[in-house]
Amino acid sequence: MSRLNEERLEDEHFWLREKENPAVRAHLEAENAYADSVMKPTEPLQEALYKEMLGRIQQTDLSVPYRKGKDFYYSRTEEGKQYPIHCRRRGSLDAPEEVTLDLNELGRNETFVELNEYEVSDDGSLLAFSLDVTGFRDYTLRIKDLTTDELLPESVAKVAAAAWAADGKTLFYVTEDHAKRPYRLSRHAVGSDPAEDSLLHEEKDETFRVSVWRSRSRAYVFAASESHTASEVRYLPAREPSGDFRLIAPRAKDREYEVDHLGDLFYISTNDKGRNFRVVAAPVYDPCPENWREVVPHRTDVMVTGIDAFADHLVLWEREDGLPRLAIIDLSTKASHRIDFPEPVYSVFAADNPEFETKLLRFRYQSFTTPESVFDYDMEARSLKLLKRTQVLGGYDPANYCSERLHAVAPDGTPIPISIVFRKELNEGDRPLVLMGYGSYGTSSPVSFDSNRASLLDRGVSYAIAHVRGGGEMGKEWHDTGRLMSKRNTFTDFIAAAEHLIARKYTSKDRLVIEGGSAGGLLMGAVTNMRPDLLAAVVLRVPFVDILNTMLDTSLPLTVGEFEEWGDPRVQEHFDYIKSYSPYDNIAAKHYPAMLVKTSFHDSQVMYWEPAKYVARLRAMKTDENPLLFKVNMAGGHSGYSGRYDKLRETAFDYAFMLTRLGIEK
């Protein structure tokens, strides 16, 4: 029960928050049993899907090695093992393999294993790594002596980030508070008691989070304090680990910047002159804003999403027309050019680029039809070299599929991009279609390859992404017009995308499934409340559906920092607006489509009780006979299971639900 300005929120399912209450666990296990019983007739289909998806994967595989110093690092997988094995070869690719970290061994007695930090000291003798074995993103920092293959005795709990100093004996790390906010920067001397570590900075503002990293030049350690709308960065020469961090520019309202280093300059991307960021250079000896020199001006149609400095080149990660772009600046000639990509929709991500003195940029490219491909790009010769394309077994042929970029029109006239893929000969009007959406935090929904998706496409099911406002596809304004008091645009954009696909005969109402996770689950819940007639089924993964109660509880992870995204419901105007769309608060006595709701008991980002309460209220109020299934992963985290085979089983379950709701039984 909550109160704001005399308004009361009655929550008949509040008791489901009591995680240690045996009745809560019994309730969740009963929901799992019910979901399994309803899905039991689909078990042959689930098994067929699992075997199909497994059959496309090269189970024993090797990543592309990357060079760091004199050594080469990579990971590999072995058939039958859930997790990757991290390795290196010293001095050359022909040297004997050294296993630096085998997650299968570390997770032998665990139901969940996730690696976060993996940082090797400059001389290659020590590895700092962090593991979570709970699913709650509780990462414990350990140090391994790679020369003896032994773990050192010290450990630090709740570590969010770590970076080595140049001496290989000093480690900087960030720890979390009670609400999982990274807020303390500390310095550790290898071999000492962590209880004696020096606290260098404590972030008092609960809307800010602290991070630490090493520059590619290896010359500096950076530490940042960042909110969703502001940032400030400090720097320390890596060869002076006992020194004091110095501030580049103080935080200011709605002022963001990020920093990289090259020679006697810091290169900085900043939104001080416009929402889409410009690039400036600042002298290391005094990098205050008064000394910033413009390198790339702000552009209204192009957003700079990141920068990477190399010895002779500056790389700009950009977005334009809803697509990622890569721009290269030759710092000696000041000439710039872009890398061209051939497909109408695609994604580009940074790969491992630890080397500073290089003309090669490594990146990962993929699309709906092209598997992940690792390239080296020669920034001087302007030539591409394909190093590896993920092998898809089972006869996959990209020529059998077609991807397109469409545009719907939102109620206010804004064009909404849609990316879609389908099997060519099976797309002949009113086909079944799965439409995905996210639309929050300025995060773009990538057009990525997923070999599992072929199990849908080959059954005639198209797949599409609605790039709705609130995301970052079209720059910062795209985010701004889908957050805070404009959040409803996210929902109406998605509805417009669905209606466009139906009007264009890509699908029909009774053959449309929608899906989304986390903040995308909020989108699914809101859309389902607003237009339950528009679709046949919905899948909500770890959905953020109890937004009003969560944003009123400042003790929960993420809440305070996310006032800048959703609003602060302690403010009456924000309270009223959030309540107007919060899925949990807008469930009504009406017909709903078939629904599969998924959560994890140990999720730290969206607590399990949000979807649990949501399902309980839906069961009490909905007036239809359509199935409502609630599947609770009792061992996973925000992304479900950590093991790759376990994840395939989860996907097979989801696909079986979707396909049977679309009338596809095998």
| Catalytically annotated residues | 518, 603, 638
- Enumerate long-range contacts of 264-271, CB under 8 Å, 24 or more apart: 266/235, 267/295, 267/307, 267/309, 267/314, 268/292, 268/307, 269/304, 269/306, 269/307, 271/298, 271/476
Backbone angles phi, psi at 319, to 5 degrees: -130, 135
Torsion over CA: 450, 456, 457, 461 (sign): negative
Q: Specify the 3-state DSSP secondary structure of 652.
A: helix
Give the contacts of 479 (CB within 8 A, at least 6 positions apart).
441, 442, 469, 470, 471, 472
Which two three-digit tokens encode residue 198? 């020096």
| Cα atoms found within 13 Å of the Cα of residue 52, Cβ hemisphere only | 22
| Residue 71 DSSP label | E
94-110 burial, b at 16+ Cβ within 10 Å, e below that, comes to eeeebebbbbbebbeeb
CA distance 386 to 33: 48
Q: Across the beta sheet with 512-517, what order do the strands follow? A: 401-409, 415-423, 462-466, 433-437, 512-517, 537-541, 594-600, 628-633
Q: How many CB atoms lie within 10 A of CB 19?
A: 12
Q: How many CB atoms lie within 10 A of CB 48?
A: 15
| Residue 121 DSSP label | -
Which two three-digit tokens encode residue 150? 């032994």
Q: Position 54: which residue type?
A: L
What are the DSSP calls for 343-391, one per residue? SSS-EEEE-----SS-SEEEEEEE-SSSPPEEEEEETTTTEEEEEEE--
Look up tokens 């237009």; give the residue.
Answer: 531
Which two three-digit tokens encode residue 263? 């020679």
**Burial class of 147 by CB neighbour count within 10 A (0 to 12, 13 to 18, 19+):** exposed
CA distance 429 to 504: 8
CA distance 117 to 129: 5
**Burial class of 422 by CB neighbour count within 10 A (0 to 12, 13 to 18, 19+):** buried
Cα–Cα nearest to 125, from 176, 188, 57, 71: 71
Which helix (H) or strand (E) segment holds residue 41: the answer is none
| Residue 104 DSSP label | H
Q: Are strands 265-270 and 257-262 parallel, antiparallel or unpaired?
A: antiparallel
